[in-house]
Structure 1
Amino acid sequence: MKIVQYEDSMQFAEVAEPIIAKNEDVFSLFFGVLQAIKAGKYADPYMAAVMEGEDVLALMQMTPPHPLNLVLVGESRKDEVIDLIVRELRGNSIAVPSVISLKQWAKSFANAWENETGETQKLLMDQGLYRLDEVEETLEMSPGSWKYATDADAPLIEKWFALFEEDTNLDRTSPDIIREKVSAFLEAREVFLWEDEGKVVSMMKKSRPTTNSVTVSLVFTPKEERKKGYARTMVAQGSKELLKEYEFCVLYTDMMNPTSNKIYKEIGYKHIADSIHIGFEK
């Protein structure tokens, strides 16, 4: 059993994609980020596989400062595989700010990393992963209509991006970086807005598209417009539009927020897996 690290994303994709594609909904984050790496959107990504002969036992992917994403192929040798990964990362002085994976894998990695490094693990987000194949047609919609965001909406989206990070306890992004990100979102026509009586009241974003699927993210409604059904309507109508192009949509929810989980289920999203994001502190 050994770890093979890849510098060429296309070579890594040849190894990873046949495995990921079998459960593209569950591994949508890994698959979507890999597509972005192949498109040159990340500098110096870490890509590796645990191999035994021709068999792949695990896949790893990291685009600093984002978390290590870990996929195991089978459970029978989980502890042995994770111990090897931790030793390899440590031996090559590869920093791991955090790990994200299915809950049982991420927890096993975090425990092994904590024991090896002395760093303390910290829960960043307990997540539910949901899949949508069709929108519930009987869902009551809030008044208004959706539109693609344009350059004129940039200041509002930048403000809401920062508030979204605050609400979800994510690390804060600098205003300059937010401005760059929003500009890229708008250029790619990735942001959907819900507008009621001429006022924008909610938003969502299209993320990590693949041939078959797309992720819904950055769902946000300002506090003064909440409890009016705008977020549910925005996600329902935005997802319905995305399903014209993609086979299915996925999204991650905060399992500590029962309201959002209830909303997505009402739309037609089905809970398919539990994921967890764990950070490390020295």
Structure 2
Amino acid sequence: MPPTAWHSTDDLDAFLARAGDFLHSRPDLHTVLLTVTEGLRTRGLHAYGDEAPFFGLLEEDGSVRGACFRTPPYRLYLTPLTPARADSLAAHLAALGRTLPGVSAEAGTAAEFAEAWRRHTGATAVPYQRQRLYRLDTLTVPRPAPEGRARIAEEGDRELLVRWFAEFSRDIGESDGVRAESWADARLAYGGVTLWEAPDGSPVSMAGLTPQIAGQIRVAPVYTPAPLRGRGYAGAATAEVSRLARQRGADEVLLFTDLANSTSNGLYQRIGYRPVADFAVYDFQGQSSS
């Protein structure tokens, strides 16, 4: 075996056996890989789509130095990589004949991989979104709090969760009704969604939590129906699930934001979230066929 090599596999257990220690070494930067692979492990390999996922890892002198995965139809997701490692991954995937709709990663890595993919396949990278990863520091509950109360969603809320997750997915440019049902069932199984209720008992906002893995829990998603926004419900729900994540023993409570949304970025910082790293998402167009 060469001292440096990317390996691809569709075997989740084999991937986690080799990459697990590496992924646990930076639970914050690797939060998406940790939570998605946990979802695949517990919900099945088709939890995110009909096509089977694939995984990749980079080994240098017997140690894992990078990892990636893709759950079609979604984009390739990468751990932070040096420019040389990003280029070697692009060459590896192009040689396998992979087609990719895009990439999501730490901002520098995403840009390097997008350029490497252009060189190896002729695809054009189109910026889609800039994100920021935050970590909770000292929790500060927004004041004044809106009227109402928080409660953990229960089985009777399933239809609402399915509908709201589908609406949230459409808002961020993704839509998958089947995945919304799978998502709701998975979250209900471990109390992974908190609702904010108005005084009359009607739900007005939700905030979710991923399962705890490697000491980290990520807040996702946060959603308020459009007619109910601007009343403080999202901030109250987010503060409550952040408190709950700490109560459940998380060492790190994380969340991603869209940097184009100044309102949500300001809100999360007021609650106590502090920046960890910037991420970027690119779409690929015009890839040559292999």
Residue 187 of structure 2 corresponds to 185
* CA contact 1:37–1:45 (8 Å) conserved in 2: no
- 2:240 paired residue number: 237
Deviation at 1:258, TM superposition (A): 0.4
1:276 counterpart (275, 280, 287): 280
Q: Which amino acid aligns with 1:56?
A: V
State the partner residue of 1:103: 107
2:208 matched residue in structure 1: 205
Q: Deviations over 1:137-173 (max 9, x none)?
A: 57442221111222332333233223222332x2222
Residue-by-residue CA offset, 1:13-37 (whole Å, 9 max, x unaligned): 3432322323211221122223334
TM-score by length of 1: 0.88
Q: Structure 1 residue 65 and structure 2 residue 46: aligned?
A: no
The alpha-carbon distance between structure 1 residues 57 and 177, as it changes in their structure 2 partners (threshold 3 A), is: closer
- What one-letter code is carried by the residue in structure 2 that aligns with 1:196? A
Name the residue aligned to 1:56: 64
Measured after TM superposition, the shift of residue 72 of structure 1 is 4.0
| Count of residues in correspondence between the two structures | 276
AA aligned to 1:59 is A
How far, CA to CA, are the matches of 1:13 and 1:83 in structure 2? Answer: 23
CA contact (8 A) 2:142 2:270 kept: no
User: Which residue identity lines up with residue 108 of structure 1 in the other structure?
Assistant: E
1:132 aligns with 2:140: no
How far apart, CA to CA, are the structure 2 residues paired with 1:184 and 1:69? 22
- 1:146-157 paired onto structure 2 within 5 Å: 146-157=150-161
**2 CA distance for matches of 1:176 and 1:60?**
25
Secondary structure in 2 matching 1:243: helix
CA contact under 8 A between 1:146 and 1:238: conserved in structure 2?
Answer: no
Counterpart residue number, 1:257: 261
1:183–1:49 distance in 2 versus 1, CA, 3 Å? closer
Taking a change above 3 Å as real, the CA distance of residues 99 and 91 of structure 1, as seen in their structure-2 partners, is same
* Distance in 1 (alpha carbons) for counterparts of 2:119 and 2:167: 35
Other structure's SS at 1:272 match: strand
Report how far residue 121 of structure 1 moved. 1.8
Contact 2:142–2:239, Cα closer than 8 Å, also in 1: no
Checking the alignment, whether the CA contact within 8 Å between 1:29 and 1:208 is kept in structure 2 is: no
How many angstroms apart in 2 are the aligned matches of 1:70 and 1:184?
A: 24
Question: Moved runs in structure 1, 4+ residues, more than 6 A?
Answer: none
Indicate the SS of the match to 2:79: strand
Q: Within 1, Cα distance between the matches of 2:279 and 2:36?
A: 16
Consecutive unaligned residues of structure 1, counting only runs of 5 or more, are none
Distance in 2, Cα, partners of 1:242 & 1:224: 28
**Cα offset for 1:133?**
4.2
Return the letter of the residue paired with 1:248: E
What is the one-letter code of the residue matched to 1:224? P
Structure 2 portions without partners, runs of 5+: 47-51
Contact 2:43–2:186 under 8 Å retained in 1: no
Percent identical among aligned pairs is 27
- Tell me whether 1:94 sits opposite 2:102 in the alignment: no
Matched residue SS, 2:32: helix
Structure 2 CA distance for partners of 1:247 and 1:274, relative to 1, 3 Å: same
Matches of 1:176 and 1:14 in 2, distance apart?
A: 30
Cα gap change, 1:254/1:72 in structure 2, threshold over 3 Å: closer, same or farther? closer
SS at match of 2:170: helix
| Deviations, residues 228-282 of structure 1 (Å, cap 9, x unaligned) | 1110011001210121112221111000000000010111111111011212223
